[in-house]
Each structure stands twice: as structure tokens, then as C-alpha cells.
Amino acid sequence: NAGVTQTPKFQVLKTGQSMTLQCAQDMNHNSMYWYRQDPGMGLRLIYYSASEGTTDKGEVPNGYNVSRLNKREFSLRLESAAPSQTSVYFCASSGSPRGDQPQHFGDGTRLSIL
């Protein structure tokens, strides 16, 4: 049972470099999400995709772009990385974008930007 798979697990970038974080789920879920987790801040939503073909901004979208490639895959791109984007990034998926189905998370990508 893979659930939600994120790659890579770790990455170090230099300021200004670009990178794409990959996420895939095998639960046939409609909705997918990207969060960042920082100490003392909890999980904050960056972008989400309620269903295949749609994406919407979350709480902290600046500096990021997303692509819902198909029902299984949802990628997060940093076009020009900044030290403030050093964080742990989590992808999640759920059966629906409403609260009636819970979100399930991957194990994260730890990203450091120097």
C-alpha cells in the first residue's frame, strides 16, 4: 500500500535555482494538496487541486506553481528558489475537496535553500 509517494525525499538548492517536487497517489483520489511545514507554524496550504484539471491557491502560494498532470500526479515547482522556501513539503490527497473525506499525507520532501 504505497498511498502518497513524494520524490525526492531530500534536496539542497542554491538561491535562484529551480526545482519540481513530485507527488503521486494510488488511492484513486480526486483531490490533491501541497503543504509546507515550518517550526511553530503548523501545516500551511500552498496550492490544491479539487479535481483533475483544476488548481487553486491556498494560504501561501507566492513563489510556487503547480501542475495536476493527471488524476494520480500533482507537482509543485519553485521557479527561483529563495532561502525563505526552506521547509518540509508535504503532499496529501483525499477522495473529495469537502471535509467529508479525510486527507492522507506522504512522508515529505525536506528542502534546504542556501
Written as one string, the DSSP assignment of 70-100 is SSSBEEEEESS--GGG-EEEEEEEES-SSTT
Identify the residue among 25, 85, 87, 103 touching other proteins (CB under 8 A).
103
Identify the residue among 99, 112, 113, 114 touching other proteins (CB under 8 A).
99
For 84, phi then psi, to 5°, come to -65, -10
| Cα of 58 vs its chain's centroid, Å | 11
Contact set for other proteins, span 4-33 (CB under 8 A): 4, 33
Residues that bind other proteins (CB under 8 A): 4, 33, 40-43, 45, 48, 50, 58-59, 90, 97-100, 102-108, 110
